[in-house]
Structure 1
Amino acid sequence: MARPPGLLRAALLLLTAASSAPRRRCGPVALPQDTVLGRPGANVTLLCREREPPNGTVLWSGRRRALGGGNALLLGGLRPEDAGRYSCHLGGHTLRTVRLLVEAPHCPTEPPEPPHVSCSRRSHDKDVLCEWRPRASPAPGTRAVLWMKRRFTMENATEQRCHFYSAAQKFVCRVKVPPGTDDTKALVVSVCVSSRAGSAAAEDRIFTLNGILKPDPPLNVTVEAVERSPQRLCVRWSYPPSWDPRFYWLRFQVRYRPEPAPNFTQVDQVTRTWLDIRDAWRGMRHVVQVRAQEEFGHGAWSEWSREAVGTPWTEPRDVTEMGLYSSQFPAEDDPYGYGATLPPELFGDDTADDAGGAVLEAAVRSPTSPYALLVAGGSLLLAIILCFAIGMRYKQRARAQRGAKLEGGGQHPMVPLCPPGSPLSATPLLSPAAPPGPLHVTNLDYFLSGK
């Protein structure tokens, strides 16, 4: 059975109305009641009543010092300082108050430009902020209104007034999210900007609360060197105050580069508030930045944090690398005046006891004198010659003793055991040792003569 065309058309219209933007009437701003608009230099008439009171004289009070009386007040030659409130009185009673607006001649007469609205939310428990920047400052009296409602529902839209901040040159609308609102349901937002010259409406924005999450950038980013690790840097940061880590977490991205390099190295999927960089450039200052996103990837990344800088740990300079410094002094045990060269920072007021140890150590490691090497080499050569001469002398004496034995032919003369006239007791067992004579090690003939 076919559906009636009228019922299908009604269903489509109902669906379209439910899913359409919650826009209300967007037209020019009408002057409020009891408001009169005037131009500089022109004349304007203010009326107290439609009909003049029959009894008494109407008196006026307002911005000007001299004001006339009567039901109609004529103000000629308007100036910007004439703008304000004017009241008419009769018998001590105020009958009416009129507000006078004096617009400058340069005020724009064109309607406002259509706004390009972007909405964001700094945390799951924060309000929604919708904002846009007009190309030109709005005319006085310009009004901006935002409407928001859930999509595919017939509920009434929430209306919110937007404010223009001259310091930031942008409109901002703050929308409170009702408790219990599903973060995954679609919302529809419409904005209308109107002035006395006309109005303009923004294109409808459809989004979810999860989709517009954008945290604030991390704070307190610090870069510290790791002792005895010339290629490591420890980066630490903290959560922004607008995000409560007790209920929801963030994930982070860290990027860093040495100052001479133009490109960053980026590290993703950081879940803690610190990172250990292990490929830093030795001795170079590094620039580090951090940004954050909701832990499950909802919404957008925050802006990058402020730049933080740090340099990896560097080993203390060696004595051989200090030749460019001018602070030199000879060590006390250096007889040749080859003093150790020390950096000037060792001579500051804050030099500790270990600086004196560094001075002594530098003096001990002073370069060896070429003269000392020459003396040591000569002594070694003299010792070798002396050993060779002693060896030759010993060999000649051994050869002479063998020759004497061969000439004797093996004859053994009779020798009395005890020479006559010399009793045994009168002969000393040991003869007194003769004092040794001087040994002339430099006279080689003594060793080579064979005597």
Structure 2
Amino acid sequence: MARPPGPLLPAALLLLLLLLLAAAAGPGRPCGPAGLSWDTVLGRPGANVTLTCREGGPANVTVSWRVEEQGMAAGGGRSRRLAEGNTLFLRQLRYEDSGRYGCYAGGRPLRSLRLLVEDPPETPRVSCYRRSHDKDVLCEWPLRVKPSPGTRAMLWVKQRFVAENATEQRCRYFSKARKFVCRVKVPPGADDTKPLVVSTCVNNGAGGSAGEDRIITLSSVLKPDPPLNVTVEALEKAPQRLRVNWSYPSSWDPRFYWLRFQVRYRPEPAQTFMEVDQVTTTWLDIHDAWRGTRHVVQVRAQEEFGHGAWSEWSREAVGTPWTDPRDLTSEMGPFSSQFPMEDGTYGVTLPPELFGEDAADGAGAAIVEASTRSIASPYTFLVAGGSLLLGIALFVGIVVRYRQTWRTGRRQGAKPEGEGQHMLVPLGPPSPPLSETPLLLSPGPSAPGALHVTNLDYFFSGQ
């Protein structure tokens, strides 16, 4: 009966563990200084350097130094003559001092040296992002100072826990943005959830620097571009509302994947923003805007399910809520008031105590008078004129009537002398005097408390 190979099981587990650690260690590319030739002298910017033609050369020979102009091949272009002597001292080196220096004796070249003025590269701090699901991954890092012309940057990408060769990408430096950018090709149908290991290396003749490995997934590095065409419009007859519109960035195709948005706004006197989240449309109505105040609005976007990071904020857009054209408060100042007129328009009155003596007598009175004249209606003048004419006509009629009555009474009172007087003869029996006529007559029994008034002459007589 054969025994199971006990010692082989731990060895297999150990081998598997080593393979996993090797795969997890990342691309692990060497990142040292670029190889320099034996005749290259390295100098740092701002430092001093001494070039020597020959060690222990003859003292009776005159040695002169020349430097080739930049852009010329060695020995094939123009050269500029420098100082004489077996050694050449250069102070306060610059990048422009890089080149090939040669020493000559009697026109015969003795030695040629290549001077390289460079700083060691900065350590890269890489960040990766992807503009949409169908775009490549871009990895970049900024630089504090401009790199030397001989600086190179490389990037390696491979799947984590998989023993396969890493893909190598050359990075490009953008001088305006002052950063290196590397493009990582994403094959079609790649799994967005599988982890990837990203390594970087920057080197030149002065040294090399490796960045820290980054573990990413294609979904976690999603970062859309900011929304475009952000506009702010006023809504008619809505003094506290604003309509904000925007559009998808050109790098994102909304036919297959959507975005969600976040809007922030503030009135210009304020310093803090108010935010509205979970906006799935490309427009938003703001309901709490300040009346008559200009507002600043910005929008940013993120993948609809929250994968990845938010985009940068869009450019600022400004807008002011709708204002009633008849509202003259903002034009006349906070101390003005309005009152409705008969024709539906509005006039403006200003209290005289708000102005000085000069203003009340001068400019203030002129403003009120101008406003009153501008809003006066011809209908008012017609009514006033008609009333005046009617009053005059009535007055004239009363005067004429009174004059006719006065003339008639005068004519009856002045009778000619000698004319006989005729006495009035009563046709009926004489009536008793007013004092003997009872005021109340009781022809029959009446209810107690009843009052019958039968002689109204009592109330109209002068007695």
**Shared fold per TM-score greater than 0.5:** yes
User: 2:375 maps to what in 1?
Assistant: 362
Is 1:148 the counterpart of 2:157? The answer is yes
Amino acid at match of 1:26: C
Aligned partner of 1:247 among 234, 256, 267: 256
The within-5 A match list for 1:264-343 is 264-318=273-327
User: 1:64 maps to what in 2?
Assistant: 78
The separation in 2 between residues aligned to 1:365 and 1:312, in whole angstroms, is 36
CA shift for structure 1 position 6? 1.7
User: 2:16 maps to what in 1?
Assistant: 11
The within-5 A match list for 1:399-414 is 407=437
Kindly tell me: are residues 178 and 321 of structure 1, through their superposed partners in 2, closer, same or farther at Cα, counting changes over 3 Å? Answer: closer
Gaps of 5+ in 2: 44-48, 55-73, 82-87, 103-111, 335-345, 350-370, 381-387, 389-430, 440-459
* Count of aligned residue pairs for this structure pair: 318
Amino acid at match of 2:181: V
Amino acid at match of 2:76: G
The separation in 2 between residues aligned to 1:120 and 1:402, in whole angstroms, is 130
Aligned partner of 1:199 among 197, 201, 208: 208
Runs of 4+ in 1 over 4 A off after TM superposition: 35-41, 76-82, 318-325, 339-342, 358-361, 364-367, 401-409, 448-451
SS of alignment partner, residue 278 of structure 2: strand
Amino acid at match of 1:209: L
* TM-score where L is the length of structure 1: 0.60
Amino acid at match of 1:238: S
CA RMSD in angstroms, aligned pairs only: 4.3
Kindly tell me: are residues 363 and 84 of structure 1, through their superposed partners in 2, closer, same or farther at Cα, counting changes over 3 Å? Answer: farther
SS of alignment partner, residue 15 of structure 2: helix
8 Å CA contact 1:221, 1:236 repeated in 2 = yes
8 Å CA contact 2:225, 2:249 repeated in 1 = yes
User: 1:335 maps to what in 2?
Assistant: none
The separation in 1 between residues aligned to 2:160 and 2:19, in whole angstroms, is 13
TM-superposition CA deviations, 1:89-118 (whole Å, max 9, x none): xxxxxxxxxx985434xx33xx43321111
CA shift for structure 1 position 258? 1.2
Is 1:131 the counterpart of 2:137? The answer is no
Kindly tell me: are residues 366 and 292 of structure 1, through their superposed partners in 2, closer, same or farther at Cα, counting changes over 3 Å? Answer: farther
Is 1:172 the counterpart of 2:181? The answer is yes
* TM-score where L is the length of structure 2: 0.59
8 Å CA contact 2:242, 2:285 repeated in 1 = yes
8 Å CA contact 2:123, 2:211 repeated in 1 = yes
Is 1:27 the counterpart of 2:32? The answer is yes
The separation in 1 between residues aligned to 2:172 and 2:223, in whole angstroms, is 21
SS of alignment partner, residue 171 of structure 2: strand
Identity among equivalent positions (%) equals: 59
CA shift for structure 1 position 217? 0.7
SS of alignment partner, residue 231 of structure 2: strand
Gaps of 5+ in 1: 46-59, 68-75, 87-98, 326-338, 343-357, 368-374, 376-400, 410-447
8 Å CA contact 2:40, 2:116 repeated in 1 = no
TM-superposition CA deviations, 1:239-276 (whole Å, max 9, x none): 11111112211100001111122221111000010001
The separation in 2 between residues aligned to 1:324 and 1:213, in whole angstroms, is 52
The within-5 A match list for 1:384-423 is 407=437
SS of alignment partner, residue 103 of structure 1: strand
The separation in 2 between residues aligned to 1:309 and 1:402, in whole angstroms, is 104
SS of alignment partner, residue 236 of structure 1: strand
Amino acid at match of 2:11: G
The separation in 2 between residues aligned to 1:122 and 1:62, in whole angstroms, is 49
8 Å CA contact 2:160, 2:196 repeated in 1 = yes
8 Å CA contact 2:42, 2:206 repeated in 1 = no
CA shift for structure 1 position 4? 2.7
Amino acid at match of 2:139: C
TM-superposition CA deviations, 1:17-64 (whole Å, max 9, x none): 22221122222111479x96687874779xxxxxxxxxxxxxx85122
The separation in 2 between residues aligned to 1:308 and 1:262, in whole angstroms, is 16
Kindly tell me: are residues 402 and 311 of structure 1, through their superposed partners in 2, closer, same or farther at Cα, counting changes over 3 Å? Answer: farther
Aligned partner of 1:103 among 116, 124, 133: 116
Kindly tell me: are residues 196 and 231 of structure 1, through their superposed partners in 2, closer, same or farther at Cα, counting changes over 3 Å? Answer: same
